[in-house]
Each structure stands twice: as C-alpha cells, then as structure tokens.
A and B are shown apart, each in its own frame.
Chain A
Amino acid sequence: MHDKTLAELTRSLEAGEFSSRELTQHLLGRIDRLDGKLNSFITVTYDQALAAAEAADKARAAGEAGPLTGLPLALKDIFCTQGVKTTAGSRMLDNFISPYDATIVEKLEAAGTVSLGKTNMDEFAMGSSNENSHYGAVKNPWDLDAVPGGSSGGSAAAVASGLVPAAIGTDTGGSIRQPAAFCGITGLKPTYGRVSRYGMIAYASSLDQAGPMARSAEDCALLLGAMAGHDLRDSTCVARGVPDYTEELDTPLAGLKIGLPREYFGDGLDPQVEAAIREAIKVFESLGASVREVSLPHTHYAIPAYYVIAPAEASSNLSRFDGVRFGHRCDNPADLIDLYKRSRAEGFGDEVKRRILIGTHTLSEGFFDAYYKKAQQVRRLIRQDFLDAFEEVDVLMGPASPTPAFDLGAKKDPVSMYLQDIYTIAINLAGIPGMSVPAGFAGSRPIGLQILGSHFTEARLLNVAHQFQQATDWHRQRPAFAEENA
C-alpha cells in the first residue's frame, strides 16, 4: 500500500481494502524502519496522525469523505503547525512549538488529510542539496551516496521511498522541482500568489511559493485543489477562483505547442540528461504536440539577479529571529548587542549567515542602486522573456536540473552549488508555474523534465504532465531502497 498514488489509495479506502488508520500505521512503521538511513523527517507526529486517521475513517463511514479524506502526507518543516515543533531546519527554531497553523495546514486538515510529520529541509529553505540542515543531510533513496536535492529534500526523499504518498514543499528558486527531479517524483511550483504563504516561514517573500510533491501529476492536481485559493491573511495571495485541476487531465495534447528554450540546452548540460529530455519531447510529439525552439535571452542573468533579491529579502525576513520572543537565545547575554549577536551566531548555520551577509551588504547605503534596483530591473526583463515566449507557445520544456543528483559533499563551493539552479530560478523571478516530471535515469539517478506555463496555467501543466505519464512509466519506478526493505 506504500506504493500507491493518492488517487489509487482513495479507491482502496473507498473499496474498504484497508482503513486510513491501517494505512497510517503501516507508513509510520516504515518511517520507523527506514528513515534512520534517509533522515527525511525531523518530526514524526505519531499520535496526531493516528487520531486524524481515525477521524477520517469515521467521516468515511458516515459518508462524508472528500477526495483527500484519510490520505497521509507530510509537511516540509517550514509550515507552522500548531502544537508541533516547527524548525525550518534550523537550530534557531529547535525549541519552537508553533502556537498557530499555517493556512495550508488548516486547509489540508479540513480536507481530511493525515499529516505524518514534518520533513527535513535546508535551513530556512536555503540550499539545493539538503546538506544545510541543522538536523543533518538527507540521503537520496535511489542512491544513498547522492543528495536528494533541496531545499525540499526531505519531502522528496520521503515520497520517493514510500514513506508517505505525497508531501508539501516550497519553492523559492527550484526547491520543489529540483528535489522532485533528483528523487524521481512529480512536483509542482504554482504561480506566485496561487497558494497562501501565511504560516510558511519566509525565505524570500516575493519568490516563495508552496506546492505539492507526489507520485503523479494527478495527485498534484488533487493536492493543489485543496491548497490553492484566496487567503485574507496574505496580501500577495490572489483572489481568483480555484478550478478543479483534475478536470482537464484527460484533454488530448493534439495541437499543443511546445517551446524549447535554446538557453536550457547549452553548456553545462549533462549529456544523459539532455538525451532523456529529448526522448521525452519525442513522446509529446507522438501525442500530437508540435515543438519549436524559442529563446529566453536573459536566462544567464537569472542566478545573479536571484542572489541579490533573495538574500536581500531574507536578510530582512530573518531579523525577527533575535532571541527575544521565540527561538534560540544564547546563555547569559552581557548586554543587548551580545544577546542579538550570539543568539543569531549560534542559531543560524553557515549558508544562512552567508545569505544574510550578502543581503545586508547589497541593501546597504551606496550599494542599493547598483545591486538591488539593478536586480529588480533585470527581473522585469526575465519575466518579459517568458511573457514573450508564451505569445508563441503553450508550454516550455527543458531539464529541471543540468545534472542528475550529485554526491553528498561534492559541492563545497557555494557558487558552484548556486549554479545548479540555472533552469529553475528564473521561473520564481517571473512568478510562473513550473513542474518537474520523472523522465528517465542516468544510471540509478532519476532525471526530471521541467514543464513551464504562463501565470495561472496550472491546469494546463497538470494536463500535459498527466498525458505524459499516461504514455510513460518513469513515474512508476520505485527505488530498490523502498522495495528491499518493505
């Protein structure tokens, strides 16, 4: 039962093959047995999960079950969950029991889902390998020597290894799509503003967006439907109706116009990855889509612009962690400055400090125009590239990452780590939705196909991904790690 998709699990629950409680117990058992090697969870909420599962079973018995009732999932540890430790992967919040629920936590609970716990992540979502967690690195279930990607690495690894059928991640520069690609699962970063950010610990507010990570596009559609929608507590969350994302899944792709950004197939792209992506494109052609090359001329400015904007916002967002109202506080502060400096020095890890320093520096007097304002101008040019491309084509496709998962410890230099996100970062700057869909392997390590659409075209992306998954079975592959230990 740990192998099934959400849609399949719902059918089993409906047919009475097993109860939500049985399913939940089975998965909690697997977490106990397997997660020691993976480290994908920071907190497992056994009691709450079983209670929620029992409530879901009762609701089902009473004929009150919705499409997600009784389905287990996991939450990236960046979402505030009332009464549960919420750490953002940081020592700073190791003692933080959230006094409130994030909007999406409320929504998913209201939909009857059963949270098994909080998944590991790069500290404050800053990283592309999940090696920046205070709670230790997460392993890739396809190859325990490899990283799962980041920053939603715990969510991706847990789904891929059959510990949970789906998880919620966040994506600021690729943090859903890249780990989904590295772990061979399906992940969706929605349009900025589609899903409420209230209660999601902020990294870079104008880029952050929560989204589903699951075993199929259909599952992502089910989850997005429950997560999306207007929230009065988030000014940046748009007031716009939420369609039934499953409705268009079966629409045939004949006539679909696919653009391949020339810049996404250039230097630095691993040949095995390129080959897999080109194969995937052929599948779409066979389904009646047409393919043409397009250009996103400012692609190479995306990483530099991102590393101005995101750290600047982060430097400000993380100022609230000052050891006064919550979070880590140093012992015996000599005075106020000492309280601040030591609490923050002890509470934050290396990469977080690096980004706080960069952001503080680029915003400071004399540098603001040259860095921040310039980066915002470039951001407009990057968004325009996409808007122009979507005048010509329906969706863009390319690799989610230039390489498959790399080895743990392989990227010591921060800049070389940043360059990993070359194909994902511009999407956050433009605010458009993007998906990563399993599309093959390089040896044992999965490869992800990225599919991009213009703002608020999630239904179309899910349809395109679902049709691909009807024609291929990459998304049905499971790592030996999950099977051997079953």
Chain B
Amino acid sequence: MQWETVIGLEVHVQLATRSKIFSGASTAFGAEPNTQACAVDLGLPGVLPVLNEAAVAMAVKFGLAIHAEIPEVSVFDRKNYFYPDLPKGYQTSQMYQPIVGAGIVEITLEDGTTKPIRVHHAHLEEDAGKSLHEDFHGMTGVDLNRAGTPLLEIVSEPDMRSAKEAAAYLKAIHSIVTYLGISDGNMAEGSMRCDVNVSVRPQGQEAFGTRAEIKNVNSFRFVERAIAFEVERQIELLEDGGKVVQETRLFDPERDETRSMRTKEEANDYRYFPCPDLLPVVLDQAYIDHLRDNLPELPAEKRARFENELGLSAYDASVLSATREMADYFDEVKDVCGDAKQAANWVQGELSGALNREGLSIKDSPVSARQLGELLVRVIDDTINGKAAKQVFQALWNGQGASADDIIEAQGLKQVTDSGAIEAMIDQVIADSPAQVAQYRDAEPDKRGKMIGYFVGQVMKASRGTANPQQVNALLKEKLDA
C-alpha cells in the first residue's frame, strides 16, 4: 500500500526579552543555578505576575510576519499539573484566546518550489525550569533559572507531508524569528524546541490516522530523523495489522529512534481556567499598526527583492536570504561595491567557503561586509585581477591589513596595465625561451591557442601576478605571430 505522511509541528520559541514574561528576573543563559529565579519565578506564597510588554510586542510581530489575525483581546489561562520544574503547580499559558490567530508560513523546498503551511495560532506562555538528573544521592536537582522565560508556541495545521517539508517549515520559522530579532534561534541552547505530531494514512484517504506526538526534537536534523523513524515505525505497525496508539514519544538522537513516554499515570487533565491574577490583554489598532510599520524586511520579501530587483537567480536569492545575518551581509557588500552579482558570487563562494572551513557563522566573519565590498570595488575597476583579489581576501581574513587598498598597496598587487611594461616582460620571456618559441611558430595555427598558455604563465609569474591577463594574452599573440 502507498502511505501518506501527515505532520504538524508545535514550535516553542524562547523570546529574546531581557527579563522574564511575568517578572523582572534576567533571562540570560548559563547563570549559576537558581540565581536568576526571583520570588515570582519561584512561586513564593503571595507573589503575582505582571506581563512583560516586550513579550507581547514580539508575539504580535511574529503574527504580523505570518499575516495572521491579531485578536483585540487575548487571555492567559492556567494549565495545572505537578512537576518539580513547574514551581507554581501550573503553567501560565493561553488556551482559549491566544495572542496570534491563524496565519501562513511559506516554505521553500529543495527544488525551489514553495508551499504554504497554515499556522493554527501562536500563544504566549512561560517556560519551565530544568531538572538535572546527575546523581545527588539518588535525588534530582531543580534549577529554576529558566522558569518564566517567555515562550511563543507556534502551532501548525497538519499540512506537512514529508520530513523534508517539516524541516523546511522549521527553518522558515527559524528564519522569521531571527529576522524579526524576537529570538536568537539557538537550538543548541534550547531557544527553539519542537514537538512533532506524526501520523500516516493510506494514499487517497481523507481521514487522518492516529498520531503520535514526538517530544524533544531540538535540531533541524533531528526533525527529519525523528519523523523518518516514526513514519517507518507506524507503517510497519499498520502493515502488520497493528494499531498506532495516540501517545507521547521521546526522540533519542543517540539511538536514532522514538520511544513511548507513557508512564503508569492516567491521561493528564490540565484543568485549564482563566488566570485570575492576569487581566485580559487588549491591543489597540494603533499599537498593532506601529509594530507593523516597524517590521524589518522578512525572508520572503528579501528573496523576492534579490530575485526581481537585483536579478539574482532563484537559487542565489534563496541562499542569500536564508538568515538575516547572511542577507544583511550580502546587502552591505552589494551596497559598497555596487554590483549584486559580484557580491553574490563572493559571499557564496570565497566567503562561505572560508567560513565553512573554520566552522564560523557569518556574524563572526573576520572579513567585514564593508571590507569585502571595498575589495570588490577594486576588482570591478580593474585595479587588481581575480587572482590578486583572492590573495587580498586571504590577507583580510588573516588580519594582515585593515582594508583591501592597504593590502594591495603593501603587497604591490596593483594590476599592471601599462603596455610598455608588459611588452618589456614579454620580450624578456621570448628571449629566455627560444625552444618554446620555435615550437610555437612551427605549430599549426589551431594548436597555437593551447601553447600560448605557457608564455602567459611565464609573464604572469614575472609580474608576480599583477599583469592584466587579457592584455598579456593579446600582446603575446601579436609578438609571437609576427
């Protein structure tokens, strides 16, 4: 039988606020345990929450970026359950009236086609703390620094049909939140976490199959692997005449499998009800308009501009708009040098190659966008040739000079275009290579094209790479064919 995979994602994005969603404690990552858990985060008797404006603004910006409806009123509810990393015994979340309504995220597949994925809603909630399972005399240690960090939970419709689509969706969300600057998107530090709902159904069947929810899928790669495993598991189960159970499963990246998290506990009953300590959040149109007016250019818009206004290929446009850092870098290089295609080639070629070799991200590039742009100016105005340009780039990368011009000057890389100087070098090469000259002149005219390479190489060597290769070529031909 042919099976179709159906996938929906719940993406939890930690918002990049300075303080927590309901308290004035810091959200900085990596502090000593419980040093950033204030009275409110600890749920001490008598404490109360007050909502962080920045968290609201970030959620609304996300909503606007996915063209979602922003309801006038949203409400916080309590989700009640006991767990050591949940200090109050409830998580403050939004069950019935979320801050962001239905929207659309467009994903780009590997073949360059796009597909819209519907977002059901996105809501604000507080993060939990962390349980540390190292051995404290058989006890678990609880660190509540993370408790109260604002999360935006983005819930998709079950619109994805393959692991690749799910990964593309996750990348699109990552790209939107980092473009908006509402999250650092650092999956390794847990700034973006993902629960995946997976089911399969016979091709052509309308009704969804029973789904499993996979928790703890915290990298782009794991999303694909977890789904691949889970789909195979479900198909095998069904083809053997079994049934998929609706359950929560945990992805284990080390064994590359998902396994049931079902404990002896009965199904949870979270007893959601409106949080009486928080009032309805009412957003007026002026506030929403102000946020809309100040939205940065988003990935889809950037891609379109790169393609349509700058004339880049669809592939280049999509690569260069993938992250905000990449796009901003490219934009600056292009603005400095004035040539989008040169900028695109260099950012994707020389720069990306060097970054990949050293495992650096573009924001840590030793060569700034301005430096690269200035280098390209010298390529475009023929001050240096392509070979020298690569040398200059390497020197900039190694910190051997503050600007391309300094390095060109210091290393004498300026292209020689003075035909007198080039002629002198050619004459010297011809005089030094009588055998090769004789061979050349004896050859049939159609073989000579290849043979001239030797002389070009010698002249370039003599000029230490600075002679203009086109000029060298033309003058050599003239002299040898004479």
Contacts and interface: CB of A to CB of B under 8 A. Distances in A.
Interface of A: 79-80, 86, 88, 93, 96, 98-100, 102, 197-202, 204-206, 232-236, 312-313, 315-316, 318-322, 324-327, 336, 340, 360, 363-365, 368, 372
A430 to B, nearest CB: 15
A320 B91 CA distance: 11
Given A100-B39, A201-B46, A325-B87, 10 more contacts: A98-B46, A100-B44, A234-B50, A236-B279, A316-B90, A316-B271, A322-B89, A327-B45, A368-B271, A368-B273
Nearest to B81: A319
Given A236-B279, A360-B271, A365-B269, A199 B46 contact: yes
Contacts of A206: 276
A316 B45 contact: no
Given A236-B279, A322-B82, A197 B48 contact: yes
A99 to B, nearest CB: 7
A320 B273 contact: no
A312 B273 contact: yes
B46 A198 contact: yes
Nearest to A196: B48
Contact of A201 (B45, B82, B142): B45
Contacts of B78: 316
A321 B44 CA distance: 9
10 contacts: A80-B46, A98-B45, A199-B46, A202-B45, A236-B48, A236-B279, A320-B87, A322-B89, A325-B43, A363-B273
B42 A325 contact: yes
Contacts of B46: 79-80, 98, 102, 197-202
Contact of A324 (B84, B277, B279): B84
A198 B47 contact: yes
A340 B82 contact: yes
Residue with the highest number of chain A CB atoms closer than 10 Å, among B51, B87, B89, B279: B89
A225 to B, nearest CB: 23
B338 interface: no
B253 interface: no
Interface string B40-78: 001111111111000000000000000000000000001
A197 B272 CA distance: 23
Nearest to A208: B276
A23 B276 CA distance: 41
Contacts of A360: 271
A313 B44 contact: no
B278 interface: yes
A435 B50 CA distance: 30
A200 B44 CA distance: 11
A236 B271 CA distance: 22
A318 B39 CA distance: 16
Contact of A319 (B84, B89, B276, B279): B89
5 shortest interchain CB distances as A-B pairs: A319-B89, A205-B276, A363-B271, A206-B276, A320-B43
B43 A313 contact: no
B78 to A, nearest CB: 5
A71 B415 CA distance: 91
Contacts of A236: 48, 276-277, 279
Nearest to B42: A325
A232 B50 contact: yes
Residue with the highest number of chain A CB atoms closer than 10 Å, among B46, B84, B272: B46
B88 interface: yes
Residue with the highest number of chain B CB atoms closer than 10 Å, among A320, A363, A372: A320
A364 B272 CA distance: 8
Contacts of A368: 271-273
A93 B45 contact: yes
Contacts of B352: none
Contacts of B84: 324, 336
B278 A364 contact: no
Residue with the highest number of chain A CB atoms closer than 10 Å, among B48, B78, B82, B142: B48
Contacts of A313: 273, 276
Nearest to A101: B46
Contact of B89 (A88, A232, A320, A364): A320
A326 B44 contact: yes
Residue with the highest number of chain A CB atoms closer than 10 Å, among B44, B49, B51, B84: B44
Contacts of A205: 276-277
A197 B276 CA distance: 12
Contacts of B108: none
Nearest to A344: B82
A316 B80 contact: yes
Contacts of B49: 235
A233 B82 contact: no
A319 B51 contact: no
A312 B277 CA distance: 13
A321 B82 CA distance: 10
Contact of B45 (A80, A340, A365): A80
A324 to B, nearest CB: 6
Nearest to A313: B276
A379 B90 CA distance: 24
A340 B84 CA distance: 10
B42 to A, nearest CB: 6
A372 B82 CA distance: 21
Interface in B232-273: 269, 271-273
Contacts of B42: 325
Contacts of B271: 315-316, 360, 363-365, 368
Given A205-B276, A316-B273, A363-B80, A234 B48 contact: yes
